[in-house]
């Protein structure tokens, strides 16, 4: 195994697999959802690094549900996260501060998790070279009725949280 400054390198895949092994009842579904989010973070990071070379910097002209001016990168990141998790069969609802309402997954592709996320936290500061990143929270679906009901059960914060995390992007260390 490679070493960095005398310590062993641990990849995200290795970390997730080691954590999964601690729970014999784990099916791997949550691990795969975390991989999906990692892929989205890598795609977003690549676009952020190249943002000055393409027409993806600046305001998009709309306001999100938090009252912030949406940036073009916000919209790109939002679509990237949603598209990376929505068609896998692992998620039933996604909700983002960039969307006015939660977005249910088609019933034939709905899974047992709800993903809440801020696709690009700190995007208003990208021009001043501050760290930005994706913040997410994964909840287990509490009911099998409908996506709308699944969203209502999760909207009671703190009771069903499975995992949460942040991916950092930018030139400044997180």
- The strand pairing partners of 8, in sequence order, are 3
**Residue 3 within a domain:** no
The whole-angstrom separation of Cα 95 and Cα 101 is 7
Q: Are 76 and 44 in contact (CB under 8 A)?
A: yes
Give the residue from 115, 126, 116, 124 showing the smallest Cα distance to 169. Answer: 126
Q: How many domains does the chain have?
A: 1
Q: What is the pLDDT of residue 174?
A: 41
**Residue 43 within a domain:** yes
**Residue 36 within a domain:** yes
**Residue 23 within a domain:** no
**Residue 174 within a domain:** no
Question: What is the torsional sign of CA 137, 79, 147, 121?
Answer: positive
The whole-angstrom separation of Cα 73 and Cα 56 is 6
**Residue 11 within a domain:** no
**Residue 18 within a domain:** no
Range of the domain at 101: 29-169
Q: What is the pLDDT of residues 52-104, one digit of tens each?
A: 667 777 777 788 887 787 888 889 999 999 999 998 999 999 999 899 889 99
CATH of the domain at 136: 3.30.540.10
Whether the per-residue pLDDT at 126 is higher than 80: the answer is: no
**Residue 83 within a domain:** yes
């Amino acid at each position: 195994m490679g070493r960095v400054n005398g310590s062993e390198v641990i990849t995200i895949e290795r970390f997730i697999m080691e954590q999964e092994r601690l729970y014999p009842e784990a099916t791997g579904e949550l691990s795969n959802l975390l991989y999906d989010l990692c892929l989205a973070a890598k795609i977003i990071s690549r676009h952020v690094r190249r943002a000055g070379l393409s027409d993806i910097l600046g305001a998009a002209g709309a306001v999100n549900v938090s009252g912030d001016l949406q940036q073009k990168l916000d919209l790109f990141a939002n679509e990237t996260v949603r598209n990376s998790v929505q068609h896998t069969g692992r998620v039933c609802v996604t909700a983002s501060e960039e969307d006015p309402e939660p977005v249910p997954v088609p019933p034939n592709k709905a899974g047992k998790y709800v993903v809440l996320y801020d696709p690009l936290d700190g995007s208003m500061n990208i021009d001043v070279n501050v760290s930005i990143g994706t913040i997410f929270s994964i909840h287990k679906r509490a009911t099998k009725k409908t996506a709308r009901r699944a969203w209502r059960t999760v909207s009671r914060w703190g009771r069903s949280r499975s995992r949460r995390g942040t991916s950092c992007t930018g030139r400044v260390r997180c």
